[in-house]
Structure 1
């Protein structure tokens, strides 16, 4: 079965990284000029759209996906409430993935935070006092980052509040230093602290994740998902694979298949 043809909207760093990686993997890519939305319908239709542009183009991108019934991986953050409602409505017609962060590391960071929160809440319910710490989120991006706090930082804060019932004490932003980003969750008790941190040094990580998520979205009919829900679906599919048994060749084949799926899902392409 041929790999899905990917349509890329956006000429910024992420859009370029996606195009470079997809081309290196001999993928077919259709380019949509963000400066000329009127030409978009003349581009041969891909199987899925990756929007790496800006919030201002949310409307035209949604219209394109609605008109052509194309799945959308929305890699843009900083949407207004109205724009998010429009994307949610689009999910009634086709697949929409809201991808605030496409990297494997952030997915694991979030899962680790949930695990920590689960342990602490269990201890609190057992009667231990003061086990749920003060939490703060710190995110760093270069000065070119348009808005603050980042969507990733806001999501981490929501995760903590959802799983512990305690809001983050602060969500702080720093605009300095090199590309790409750092996100830290700092948990502080009296006399000790724990930091759950993730750093991205290259947009290749996000580009690999974007292509894997695009492949997943291309096989769905409709619905609105977060990128972490997509990763959860991928992990569930991997976990449900039958055992390879005792035969070396069967084991090797299953291992290779699992690696290939993980490769596409979580961004080990670079």
Structure 2
């Protein structure tokens, strides 16, 4: 068993290296467009890095390849993919809106911390957090010019965003199913955290359990898929071409290598 887990570890390391290489190649000395599209370049580059970080986090942690943890990561990756494609429908305007919403949210949080201190709360950590947040905001824009938006940053629902990017199935078959895990809905916990009571007198009620399952590699494939879709959008926008293996190609090669290694062990 330990030998098989070692093989899975090598499988994850190989994928992580490919993901890291794909990101580094695209962001090294990065200056897209005319070089002055600050918001667009910042958003598209950092969101790509975020997607890569999520994929690496999943790939390097085999114990997360189950319905307990993996859907949490994949749901975030799907949300990012939708956001990425939606921004690219009007990159200059929507990139700025995306940044402004984030700054506004941080400004509101900073105001909450400040109010806590003004009400007499004594906490050096809270003060340091408030000052650090304020410095981060001010490094990008004066607080007085930042609006706080309490609604959706896009002003639209995720379902509508998927319709606008021309991929309603992404909402129906990816975003919605994984959302049941994020929100701890019955159609998730009833599958992964429930078993039928053994006592026939208890009317077959559910008993809470943590299902112990062998790592499900398909979750890693999905992470590679959602990352590759963002890479495709990045490359399309910047007319970039790479000779590196794509994450899915790297995944398939790693699976083949893993299968061959296990076959040798069985002989």
| TM-score normalised over the length of structure 1 | 0.23
Instruction: Tell which has more relative contact order, 1 or 2 (C-alpha 8 A, sep 6+).
Output: 2
Q: Which is richer in strand?
A: 1
| TM-score normalised over the length of structure 2 | 0.23
Q: Which is richer in helix?
A: 2
